[in-house]
Amino acid sequence: MAGLFLLTFVFVKLLLQTQGQNIHHAKIYSVNREVAEGGSLQVTCSTFGYTTKSVYLYLCHNGKAIEIKKSNQADVAFIINSIEKDNSGNYSCVFSEERLLTTQVTGYGENHVFIQVTESLIPAEIRLLKADVSEGSDAEFNCSTSNPLNTTQPRKMILAFLLKNGRTIQVNTWDTTETMTTFTLRKVRLEDAGTYSCVVMLNILPHPDKRLCGKNEVNLQIKQHSASVSNSNSGEVRLAIMCFIILLVISLLLGIWLITQKRGFIGCLNKRCLNNEEQLRETEVVYEEAGEAEATGETQSICELSEWNEFSDSEV
């Protein structure tokens, strides 16, 4: 009985060993220990020193194969794109001479690397350059991260989001050499008042909206400037009216001067205007005799004008 048990034990152990021998250890290399969510993880599996044959290489995550590649060379690169948070863990490499299903392959390789998948959405600090902005002018926000972003991985694009009440309203590209970006709201209106924050996204994520959350918030207030605007308007109107009056007076004076010049009445008119009405009537008679039509009307009106002329001259 005991002999039978021993026999089965040895048999099972042998079976496991032969099975185990199908899967061999390989080495893993990785430049990065941290990958931001949504980014790509690149590692290299190497059979260098273990075999020179063409074999099947498996990349294992926490001891379970997740990818297979046939290799003709000692080093094979594995790339996992759009990495997610639960892809964090221990990565290692194994190989086999025959092709096995990845679900059947388990085990750790010669070594392993722990890869941390970090958050891709970094809450950033927002600063409002002026707390209350006049309606119609621009509002400027500075968005910055306290630490420089880890740029060990080549990234195509880093984006910064300006959020108003938690919703994205502007997107900027983030220069990797800078730790800051500036958002400008042009010609703000009263409804632009509100709470603003900002977030930096290291990799494009499919639906980040619900998770966008800044480090701090700033409150933008819009100053209504309707009162002072109407004041300045009425000031402008007043100025325009004054200019108009001055122009009118000048042109009037010019007109009078031209007319009086043309007719050569200056001396005569001045005399008549200063003298009494009797004399005026006399001269009218003289004019009528001279045969000038409508002379009465003209002299009167010119007189009125020249009187006014004197008055305005004295005022100027």
Ligand X SMILES: *[C@@H]1O[C@H](CO)[C@@H](O)[C@H](O)[C@H]1NC(C)=O
Residues that bind ligand X (CB under 6 A): 34, 62, 89-90, 114, 118, 127, 129, 142, 147, 149-150, 180, 182
Beta carbon nearer to ligand X, 201 or 269: 201
Measured distance CA(27)–CA(57) in Å, rounded: 10
CB of 137 to ligand X, least distance (A): 17
Instruction: Rank residues 115 and 188 by Cβ distance to ligand X and give the closer one.
Output: 115
CA triplet 162, 163, 165: central angle to 5 degrees?
155
Q: How far is CA 135 from CA 175, 185, 195, 274, in A?
A: 31, 11, 17, 62
Of the pair 115, 302, the CB lying nearest ligand X is at 115
Shortest distance in whole angstroms from residue 196 CB to ligand X: 14
Contact 245, 316 (CB under 8 A): no
Q: Kindly give the pairing relationship between strand 218-223 and strand 132-134.
A: parallel
Three-class SS state of 291: coil
Return the number of the residue (56 or 183) whose C-beta is nearest ligand X: 183
Nearest to ligand X of 104, 152 (CB atom): 152
Rounded CA gap, 57 and 290, in Å? 128
Least CB distance to ligand X at residue 114 (A)? 5
**Taking the complex as a whole, how short is the minimal distance between the CB of residue 150 and ligand X, in angstroms?**
4
Residue 33 or 167 with smaller CB distance to ligand X: 33
Least separation in angstroms between CB 142 and ligand X: 4
Shortest distance (Å) from residue 141 CB to ligand X: 9
Angle between helix axes 277-290 and 295-315 (nearest 10 degrees) is 130
